[in-house]
Chains A and B, each alone.
Chain A
Amino acid sequence: MKQRAIITVVGKDTVGIIAKVCTYLADSNINILDISQTIVQEFFNMMMIVDLSKSEKSFDRIADEIAAVGQNTGVQIKCQLEGIFDKMHRI
């Protein structure tokens, strides 16, 4: 069964944000299903829908590690299970 999560990235736009996030996901065997992003007043907003089911890492470890990737890049990265968004915005 797929375990889908949403990764959000918020922060000042710099070179290579997506690359760093994607590198981490690839190394962790996490498949990206969808990416969308916008830049509002130099602020970078991105969200990814990813599939965690093939990764051997636990959810908590992925969430911690990807948050650390964000800290190193100067942006805030959050990883949440998809359920909260689905539940709130879909009947």
Chain B
Amino acid sequence: MINLAEVFETNKMIEQDNLDVRTITMGISLMDCGDADVDVCCQKIYDKITRLAKNLVETGEEISRQFAIPIVNKRISITPISIVGSSCCKTPDDYVQICKTLDCAAKTVGVNFLGGYSAIVSKGMTHSDELLIRSIPQALAETERICSSVVVGSTKTGINMDAVRLMGDIVKETAQQTAAQDSLGCAKLVVLCNAPDDNPFMAGAFHGVSEADAIINVGVSGPGVVKHALQHMDEEQVADFETLCETIKKTAFKITRVGQLVAQEASKRLGVPFGIIDLSLAPTPAIGDSVADIMQCIGVERAGAPGTTAALALLNDQVKKGGVMASSYVGGLSGAFIPVSEDQGMIDAVEAGALTIEKLEAMTCVCSVGLDMIAIPGDTPATTIAGIIADESAIGMVNQKTTAVRIIPVEGKNVGDTVEFGGLLGYAPIMPVNQFVCDRFVNRGGRIPAPIHSFKN
């Protein structure tokens, strides 16, 4: 039977160390909503989302109350819209109309974000994919809750450099069209390589074509809990790596078990099959709920100092090792996130001069995802942004992992300024970007071939 110490340990994690379930994301297939008429297609999409996700928010809140565990977000991911809209969308405006319908459906069911305004163009772009991509700046400027993603490469296909180049322009345009809100649109737009089909985290969430009609995916969190466990471990004397790894693993296990419980309950109560748990350490701007702080507990003075990449590799691996056993199905991005604006420790490291984009890029080789929520000067050329996307995609392609770029070229701001996104998106200092150009490289056109899978070194 459960004892007093265990009960208080759990409640302390929730009350003092910011333990929460970051998101319950319902994946919904819209494959059956295609139509030759855009109005009919929109109606089908609206009806299907509002029917399946009708009780999502209420059920999430009920689970949260009954177990006294905060469930921060209730969200929806959908089939990439470039597939659903391919038969009816003849212009970017048609896609914008679908985007507004999605926004309306998201508001009706009460979710804070809906992801899947996406195109998968890892090898080539169809006409419909291109229309969708070109509609992104306007679509994100005119909606509130929609997240967009474009998959530009994979280990199997190589990198579609035409798409990479285009995304450089699209990121810039999105920043310009949402200039009044400090280019907030770019915080809802991510460019991916090797994107998983079942990611519950925004902005890169979409419901892949390999998925069932509807599914419940859950993203866990808990950097604060890991940090506290490490502080406690080092109280008497500095622990060795074995103890360090064991501590992270055990803590990750406990955090993930809560996610597993919430996922099973949500699946049962909503009558929708359980998909996966995403074992992630997702930081928030709350003090102490930071992956950078964990780096400091492990022993680097600031995130970005020499040793950071190794510390992050260790952390990421132990989180997976602990989490995998705690859940029946694991998927999504699964690893430690290192967004800048959403993590107070990362912001401090940037402001102290410890952390640069180049170091962040190195860190993305060993952790989940990539260059995330990084604000850069508004006058950064589109070709430079495309170059950054190409670099990050290459890391993902060669290392067979998911990588992503979510950078915000904030209109009218420069190095030394800060930008405030609000809420979970936090705030960020503008980081300097390498001033040398790569125009000739990104303008070549075509694609980078898939890498060889032998002779690894």
Contact = CB atoms under 8 A, between A and B. Distances in A.
Interface of A: 6, 8, 34, 36-38, 45, 47, 49, 59-60, 63, 78, 80-90
A47 B4 contact: yes
A8 B2 contact: no
A84 B10 contact: yes
Contacts of B265: 83
Interface in B255-309: 257-258, 260-261, 265
Contacts of A34: 1
B67 A81 contact: yes
Nearest to A4: B2
Given A8-B11, A85-B10, A87-B261, A80 B67 contact: yes
A35 to B, nearest CB: 10
Interface residues of B, number: 21
Given A8-B11, A45-B4, A83 B67 contact: yes
Interface in B217-267: 254, 257-258, 260-261, 265
B8 interface: yes
21 contacts: A6-B7, A8-B8, A36-B3, A45-B4, A47-B8, A49-B1, A60-B65, A60-B66, A63-B66, A78-B68, A80-B68, A81-B67, A83-B261, A84-B10, A84-B67, A84-B68, A87-B260, A87-B261, A88-B6, A88-B254, A88-B258
Contact of B2 (A37, A63, A78, A85): A85
A89 B10 contact: yes
Contacts of A45: 4, 8
B147 interface: no
A88 B3 CA distance: 12
B81 to A, nearest CB: 36
Given A78-B11, A87-B258, A89-B10, A38 B67 contact: no
B69 interface: yes
Contacts of A49: 1-2
Contacts of A78: 11, 68
B2 A82 contact: yes
A88 B257 contact: yes
Nearest to B7: A47
Contacts of A36: 3-4
